[in-house]
Structure 1
């Protein structure tokens, strides 16, 4: 079952759009359309401006195509935001925009739809692909990956400290029975995990690691951040909402490097003017209000960071 847009709550909706839209007649990019919550508010703030949306998910694309029919200022593309440069040129006829937004990670409709294979709470086929028509599914990966590589993925991308123990249990199980469903994998992980975190499903970190790897989320993020900064005109902003420490670490370091330049030894006689810095961070990192978290518990770990181009 697919959730409707009304059932999907966009995180830090007003805060992010307030930070993003600085010109009501400008050109903007929503790198993660989802169900269009941020997109629709951006369109409300625009007059003659235009907006280009991206998503890998075919269900999200169908929602985007309906919005595209409703509002000619909006266009939707089924692709990763990592490839935004080509599409910006194709759709807008220019290579610079006034703002780019990214709301990272998996969306609530994807988690809640058991058929997508993201949930460790509801049984469904073990898939986890943002675009089920591309790449290999989590089931295919789990069936063929080496034990060491599986453990590395869960440790590096899921920060799962018992990754080796869990990977061993998965490989032992798959040697006699195919692992085809989410609850099947979740049960194996839970039984292999010796120390469950309070208030957290024992499969949370392992599932996160596998999902991030299957969809190349961190690789896309690094490429997408570079693409976004190259696409910004002077005064243009990049607004990014992240939901876990790995994403936020990448975003924070990237923005710090853009705004301050590379770390150099203190004794070198180099001033900031010599570094040709073209960006600044806008304010401090923003987190959801207590009232938002009480209404939408999935927003509790979100962090919004904003970068602005100040010169060419």
Structure 2
């Protein structure tokens, strides 16, 4: 059993055009922080008070939500204050530098400092706040998907080989990523891949390089590319559509456009909570 157990996964899809008209960043984040806060509270609700007190960190990761901070329209401290109004255990750290792989590097940072049994939260926010065409469709991944995803993990023992974080050293980061995935999963027993969602041409490369590895279905056709949330949504979809009667082991894998990639071996149990909420947009 992996040292990382998935206690809950929740997903709130966000509409492609999030706001009917441009909002200032403060108003936009007031609304988004309410969505994140409510989702966090749903995810941790099954935990006992004693277990909730063992939640040490909550990372908020994003690939696309960067401009409001870099332009100075709003600061992370302001957003953190908004989140804190929705109760304890809200996101305390924002990470964007590693793009789609930010969740993995967040885990690496956390586990370098904490190894005792406890809980941690990772939320992934990808919302097209400025309704930029680049984020709606891009030649690298085609259609985008937007949403808020929160994963509650329990660290049950010291993490050794379960987490892989690297940066590509060749020009073909996609093929290098797939090669490292193949090598990594080959060292694990009964572990199914949860891969990023990509269009058909990239799926064909995965088919070739990962032909002998068990993989969850690619959901690009229905969800688009949902950035760092892809592998978690793949596991969520499987949990919602199949009865989990015994422990299942997955290797959650993400690749960033800038070459960073992350993999985490996680265990899903019959007690894992799967939450899919209705698509939201600002009214």
Structure with the largest fraction of strand: 2
Give the TM-score normalised by structure 2.
0.34
Structure with the largest fraction of helix: 1
Larger radius of gyration: 1
Give the TM-score normalised by structure 1.
0.32
Q: Which has the higher contact order (CA 8 A, sep 6+)?
A: 2
